[in-house]
Amino acid sequence: MSPINLKATSSFQTLEITVLSCEDLRINGRSVKKNTCVVVRTDPLNFRETTTDTEGGSYPSWDQKLALDMSIRETCITLEVHCRTLSVDRIIGSARMPVNDFMGGYFPQGYLSFLSYRLKDPKGLDNGIINVSAVFESNPFVKMLGKLMQSEASDRHTPAEKDGRARKVDAELGLAYSDLMKRMIRVEELVLTQVYL
């Protein structure tokens, strides 16, 4: 196994955002009837979307978790509410979600924030509210290393117990490393795609 550059792996984090609901959505002043979904993006190529709500009308709800890998240099996330029919996909409202609303400063790693943002329609007029929660997942490899170091510091086990625990930790580190490499490859693909566009 080649050595891992912890500095490089920690420059990307996984954002877990739960799209909860929207309130008072309208199209041309009229209440939305059905078929709304939310697209969460960090950039044009890195996005996730919810399922389509077919029953909530102007007050749709999803309570759906979406995970996005993103650079720690990102400053904003875009939330777009779409209304879809067979022939049209229309953005009826969007909001910019500053990363510092839920990370950095007084917010520790792993802190779950519940946030609401006013949506603006394509003309810039107010068009409802979106409710979300957001948290950054900690890097699984760094988390596993922390566990290992903590375990070694307070180790008072027999050699047989240590050997069994060492095998278990090796397996967990292997899984965390494999997951981390998959994420890094996915991020590299996104970066290369952006470079060639």
Predicted TM-score (pTM) of the model is: 0.65
What pLDDT does residue 138 have?
60
> Would you kindly state where each structural domain of the chain is located, as residue ranges?
8-137, 139-196
Cβ-contact 179, 42 below 8 angstroms: no
CA 130/CA 134 separation, integer angstroms: 13
Q: How many other C-beta atoms can be found within 10 angstroms of the C-beta atom of residue 76?
A: 14
* Residue 9 predicted with pLDDT over 50: no
pLDDT in tens, 134-191: 987 765 555 555 555 555 555 555 555 555 666 666 666 666 666 666 766 766 666 6
* Closest by Cα among 133, 19, 34, 28 to 80: 19
What pLDDT does residue 8 have?
45
* Residue 41 predicted with pLDDT over 90: yes
CATH superfamily of 8-137: C2 domain (2.60.40.150)
Residues whose CB falls within 8 Å of the CB of residue 152, separated by 6 or more in sequence, listed in order: none
